[in-house]
Amino acid sequence: MHRPVSLVTGGAGFLGSHLCDRLLAEGHFVIAMDNLLTGTVDNIAHLAGHERFRFIKHNVTEFIFLAGPVDYVFHFASPASPVDYLELPIQTLKVGSLGTLNTLGLAKAKRAKYILASTSECYGDPLQHPQREDYWGNVNPIGPRGVYDEAKRFAEAMTMAYHRVHGVDTRVVRIFNTYGPRMRLRDGRVVPAFISQALRGEPLTVFGDGKQTRSFCYVSDLIDGIYRLSQCDFHEPVNIGNPTEFTILEFAHLVRELTGSRSEIVFKPLPQDDPKQRRPDITRARTLLGWEPKVDLPTGIRLTIEYFRQKLQTTGT
């Protein structure tokens, strides 16, 4: 029996590395590709020497050559936190445009299934709540966050064009806020920021009044949804995320409680174009994939705190 071969771009990143683990568990031969701009080999160190895993250091904005068959292309390469795409705006645009073009070209040549990691940022600062896949979004194309939002919107358009024109077997997953082990400490997103601040006894920084909401999905739930989508015959975008909504202030109190920290909470001005509400409508994922999140926030946050605690002890930063 043919063993499926999967390429995961961004395979040394937070989500990409967890996806590699899941695909290996499902019996795939996995090729992880990453230029290590925001990813790190630490995330895949446990896979070194695995007979069904190989790592290629490569920038997907350059032509991709792979010998032999490829059955799945998971395009997960991209800076994915505001800190990264504000520092790396052109690289973010290039991986969403040229990287998507190159990976789609590979999928077309290999007759592979193609799964694009898109984002809830496609909805911008949404005027519809919760966000359904048929909502077109409210995005500022020239704002500082526009480089990420528009790169992903372009990637979706390119993916659908390859599906319609070339018959490439495509999937689009719109990923909502996800957290868990292997996030970077200085990633700039709220989960690592609050946890590392609390563990160091530093003040927890809340932007705005803290009443803006987020919905947090634990990484194992997200990866399960993505894997199910890869096995399903549906081509339009599917939201994968946790619909349970928390205010940022509620989340700050939860992190403080679970870490046992005495950190105070301080307020700072809200960054430009920061979305005020973010919550997925997951009706489509429930109906098509039989998927819904299983890990509640306190459970997931405890596991993430444990990871960051060990990381802080080993790095000392």
CATH of the domain at 140: 3.40.50.720
Q: Indicate if 21 and 135 belong to the same structural domain.
A: yes
Rounded Cα distance between 199 and 274, Å, is 26
* Total count of domains within the chain: 2
Q: What is the mean pLDDT of each run of 10 residues along the chain (317 residues)?
A: 94 98 98 97 97 98 97 96 90 97 98 97 90 93 93 98 98 96 87 94 92 93 98 97 94 96 91 76 97 97 96 76
Q: Are residues 119 and 221 in the same domain?
A: yes
pLDDT at position 69:
97
Task: Judge whether 148 counts as a catalytic residue.
Answer: yes
The boundaries of the domain holding residue 235 are 5-178+217-240
Whether residue 284 lies inside any domain: the answer is no
120 and 207 share one domain: no
**Among the listed residues 72, 39, 84, 75, the one whose alpha carbon sits nearest the alpha carbon of residue 57:** 39
Is the domain of 187 the same as that of 311? yes
Question: Which pLDDT score, from 0 to 100, does residue 271 have?
Answer: 72
Residues written for the chain? 317
Residue 232 included in any domain: yes
Tell me the pTM: 0.95
Same domain, 109 and 191: no
Residues 97 and 59 in one domain: yes
Alpha helices in 201-290 (DSSP H): 219-230, 248-259, 283-289
DSSP state of 111: T
Which residue among the candidates 72, 114, 148, 179 is catalytic per the annotation? 148
CATH number, domain of 189, equals 3.90.25.10
- Considering the domain architecture, whether residues 76 and 32 belong to the same structural domain is answered as yes
**Are 16 and 8 contacting, i.e. CB atoms less than 8 angstroms apart?**
yes
In a domain, 287, yes or no: no
> Is 59 part of a structural domain of the chain?
yes
